[in-house]
C-alpha cells in the first residue's frame, strides 16, 4: 500500500480550474485501478493533497437545495462571486479568500476502505489543529464538519466538509475558515443548516489575521499522523 501523498499548494486559484484539475487526478487513479483489475497487475496508485484559496464562489452538492442560496445571479455578480453545481455530497458551501481549502485525492485502498472513518479523520485533523490555538473544537452529531460550542445557543461552524468517492478514490474535501469574510455566509444557509452561525479562526482568536502558512503546516502534521502518510512536495504538475 502506497502511503506517500503528493502535496501541491496552488495559492489563489479559480474554483472551476481547480475542480477540473481534481477530476484529472481522480480519473488517473481510477483508470490505473481499472487497469490493475483488468490486466491483473499491481501498479502503485498515487495519492494527492491540494491546498488552495479560491476567489468568492458558492458550490451546491448533489443532494443540495438551491433554495439555500439566498441571492440571485445578478446579486452574486455584484458581490464578485461565482456559483457551481458540483458532484460532491452535502448542500451549499462558500469558498473565498482567507479560507484554507484542502482536496485530498486519495486511493483509500492504500489506507483503509471506510468513508465514515475517512471523514472522521479529516475532522480530527482540524480539531487537533485548532487545539494548538487553544480552541476546543468538536463534531456535531449528524452534521459533518467541525464546530465550536456544540450543544449551546452559541454553536458555530468553523470548517465545512463534503467529499465524493468512487472505487475508494476520494475528491473534494474540507474548507477551514482562517481569515474569512463572514459576510459572504449571510448569502446562503450554510450546508442547509438553519439557525447555526459560522465563524473564522481570526475572529475566535481576536486577531486581524492569522498566518495561513502556519495553519497549513499544522494541518499537514496532523494529516500525516492520522493517515500514517508520508507527505512529499509535488514538483511537477
Whichever domain contains 174, its CATH number is 3.30.930.10
Q: Find the distance separating the first CA and the last CA of the chain, reported in whole Å.
A: 23
What is the per-residue DSSP string for the chain? ---EEEEEEEEE--HHHHHHHHHHHHHHHHHHHHHHHHHT--PPPP-EEEEEEPSSEEEE-TT--GGGB-S-HHHHHHTT-EEEE-SSSSSEEEE-TTEEEEEEE-BGGGT-S-HHHHHHHHHHHHHHHHHTTT--EEEETTEEEEEESTTSTT-EEEEEEEEEEETTEEEEEEEEESS--GGGGGGB-GGG-TT-EE--HHHHHT-S---HHHHHHHHHHHHHHHHT-EEEE----
Q: Categorize the per-residue pLDDT at 190 as very low, low, confident or very high, splitting at 50, 70 and 90.
A: low
Is 197 annotated in a binding site? The answer is: no
Whole-model pTM?
0.93
Catalytic, out of 60, 122, 158, 191:
191
Q: Is 90 annotated as a binding residue?
A: yes
Quote the pLDDT of residue 93: 87
Has 94 been labeled as part of a binding site?
yes
Question: Would you state the pLDDT for residue 194?
Answer: 60
More confident residue, 64 or 206: 206
**Domain span at residue 229?**
4-233
Residue 91 marked as a ligand binder: yes
Q: What is the reported pLDDT for 237?
A: 46
- Identify the pLDDT of residue 214: 98
Q: Is 1 assigned a ligand-binding role in the annotation?
A: no
- Catalytic-residue membership of 191: yes
95 is in an annotated binding site: yes
Q: Which of these, 153, 97, 104, 157, lies nearest to 130 by C-alpha position? A: 157
pLDDT digits 0-9 by tens, 52-85? 999 999 998 887 888 888 888 788 889 899 998 8
Number of domains making up the chain: 1
Residue 117 to residue 147: CA distance in whole angstroms: 18
175 is in an annotated binding site: yes
Contact present, 93 and 124 (Cβ < 8 Å)? no
Amino acid at each position: 500500500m502506497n502511503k506517500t501523498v503528493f502535496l501541491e499548494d496552488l495559492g489563489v486559484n479559480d474554483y472551476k480550474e481547480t475542480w477540473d484539475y481534481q477530476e484529472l487526478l481522480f480519473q488517473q487513479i481510477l483508470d490505473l485501478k481499472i487497469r490493475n483489475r483488468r490486466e491483473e497487475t499491481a501498479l502503485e496508485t498515487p495519492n494527492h493533497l491540494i491546498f488552495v484559496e479560491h476567489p468568492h464562489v458558492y458550490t451546491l452538492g448533489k443532494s443540495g437545495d438551491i433554495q439555500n442560496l439566498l441571492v440571485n445571479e445578478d446579486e452574486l455578480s455584484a458581490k464578485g462571486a461565482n456559483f457551481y453545481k458540483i458532484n460532491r455530497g452535502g448542500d451549499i458551501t462558500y469558498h473565498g479568500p482567507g479560507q484554507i481549502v484542502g482536496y485530498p485525492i486519495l486511493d483509500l485502498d492504500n489506507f483503509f476502505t471506510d468513508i465514515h472513518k475517512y471523514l472522521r479523520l479529516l475532522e480530527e485533523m482540524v480539531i487537533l489543529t485548532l487545539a494548538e490555538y487553544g480552541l476546543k473544537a468538536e463534531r456535531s452529531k449528524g452534521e459533518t464538519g467541525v464546530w465550536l460550542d456544540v450543544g449551546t445557543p452559541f454553536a458555530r461552524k468553523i470548517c465545512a466538509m463534503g467529499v465524493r468517492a468512487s472505487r475508494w478514490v476520494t475528491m473534494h474535501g474540507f474548507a477551514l475558515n482562517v481569515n474569512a469574510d463572514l459576510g459572504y455566509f449571510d448569502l446562503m444557509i450554510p450546508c442547509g443548516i438553519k439557525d447555526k452561525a459560522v465563524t473564522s479562526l481570526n475572529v475566535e482568536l481576536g486577531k486581524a489575521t492569522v498566518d495561513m502558512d502556519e495553519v497549513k503546516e499544522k494541518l499537514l502534521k496532523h494529516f500525516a499522523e492520522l493517515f500514517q502518510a508520508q507527505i512529499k512536495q509535488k514538483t511537477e504538475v
